[in-house]
Structure 1
Amino acid sequence: MAQYKGTMREAGRAMHLIKKREKQKEQMAVLKQRIAEETISKSKVDKKFSAHYDAVEAELKSSTVGLVTLNDMKAKQEALVKEREKQLAKREQLEERRLQLETLRDKARRKEQRRKISSLSFMLDEGDEEGDEEGVGGSPGPEAPKRRRPLGKDPAVDTSFLPDREREEEENQLREELRREWEAQRERVKSEEIEVTFSYWDGSGHRRTATMHKGSTVQQFLKKALHCLRQDFRELRSAGVEQLMYIKEDLILPHYHTFYDFIVAKARGKSGPLFSFDVHDDVRLLSDATLEKDESHAGKVVLRSWYEKNKHIFPASRWEPYDPEKKWDRYTIR
């Protein structure tokens, strides 16, 4: 039994020594490889400096032909060494600049690729680009937090309801163009001429006509009507426009309204449309209400003093001030 135990100890000791020797061999191999690498790098540096000094020596020999003093020789050698060092430093700067430009081109190319990919599916975050750059230069530390890539915009989703500066500018430009077009069309309509049939009312009718623009106001119309009526009616010779009233379809029209306002609004009075310019006889005088549909009657130009005296008598008793909010029944005559 004791002999068996001794044998086992010897075997364990032998295995331990074998492992120790293998470990030492591995360490020696690593050390040899490191020494070889240092020797190669040192030889490269030596070659670099030897080439540098060989070039300086060759240039010195070619520039110092004949007998020269020792001081001149040393000064020439120092100048050549400095010049050679400047050339080497400049070459190293150019090489470093070239490497920087190549790095910038690679970054721009990767950024363009990410932009194209994001336009097709999802946008990449700036953090991912930084992470890629770190992966190219070296791996990040073990404690660096792993950033999750955020989801971007899905091009298949309808985003027309979201604010868009370019779309809003286009819409504003289109609105402005439509507004200018509408204003030009409105001015063109206002400049159209119309023939207004009216009757000076002093208890009986005296029909006249006047040519006006659709953009003219009631006051401008009364001024022109007064100019036509003064020579035939003595009471109008000293009257002014402010003393006249214009009654259309039993409504007293304000002086500041234009014909265009009534035409566009398709305004109606008690006995028909205010202005459709197809004047017919007053249906009340014909006692036949069935004739009144879309027919306009001649308006009345009246002195305000005459209205104040006779406003309780027909037809002045039916006249009311114009109210744009009030709607009159189309077929009702009171």
Structure 2
Amino acid sequence: MMFASSWSDRADDSGNARFTSQAATAEDLLKAQTVGLVNLNDYRKRRAEALDRKERGDSAGDSGASTPLDGASTPKAVFKKKRKVAAKGKLSFGADDDEDTENNFSKTPTPRENTPGSEVEGKVARKKLGANSSIGLKPRVMTKTALQREAQHAELARQDFLVMREAVKATEVVIPFVFYDGTNVPGGRCRIKKGEQIWLFLDKARKVGAELGVGGDKSRRDWARVSVDDLMLVRGEVILPHHYDIYYFLFNRVTGFDGPIFDYSAQPTKASPSATDADAEKDTAAYDPLAQPLKKKSKESSIPDEELEGFHEDPSTTKVVDRRWYERNKHIFPASTWTEYAPDKDLSSVQRKDAEGNAFFFT
């Protein structure tokens, strides 16, 4: 057993404390923890603890913190107040993550460049897009100037098409034909423009029949009295309505049972009138306002019939038929095979049948 230092010794030491160093030594720590009789083993243990605390205090550099000498057995630990991180704007469902954010505020955040998602985004952003070779048209800038230029080109193209269409409609063709009343009666040839309608061709054919006297003298008078409404034009085996013009069949490439109804060109040919000829017809210097329309001299084409389209066609392809005869014999071949043209019907793919619904063996 050892006897620790007395209260008088500590009083003397405390009286001179103002003149001594404020840093607690290992002996001071040992005196503060041992009062009265102490077991030798406890004394050695506390002395080792005092030395250990002194060494740890010197290494940490905590020179201002001294061990109290007022008899406290264990010094109070000093806690540092945690600094709160200012909360940023969060979503409503992010309230559950507040505690995790406060507990992990001292951790170093992982840079966004090191995350896998950022690498993928970076690669996509840096990818250079090339031109699509499968697209034939190049992209155009849709600015006001470009739109105006495109509208001007479209207007010029429209005007060019109108001029070309008028030139084609003014082109003359020669159509050989026959009068049909069960047999083919030669009728001759009619010269007509592509822009003229079917009824006008029938009127010219009627005049040709009256001049030729088809069927004798009595038939000549009948041809002179017959109306255009009583005549039909059968092209191949298709009955053409009166109000259609020839250019309609050319422009739309209308086909019959055996091919195009009119196999003429839909583009200007050498027989097409030029722009100078059209201006000559509209010359105001040669215009006579007192001239009667019936007495005006029509300008004949200088191109002979042999050089016009259709001159070498088979006359039996174009038939001029009396409608009254057709109504009496439309159940008899070949009138039973004739079909009236309709725009919504594709004759090239129609299965041909007779009046009783029997399919023809040659189709």
TM-score by length of 2: 0.41
- Which gives a bigger RCO, structure 1 or 2 (Cα 8 Å, sep 6+)? 2
Which one has a larger percent helix, Structure 1 or Structure 2?
1
Larger Rg: 2
Q: TM-score, normalised by structure 1?
A: 0.45
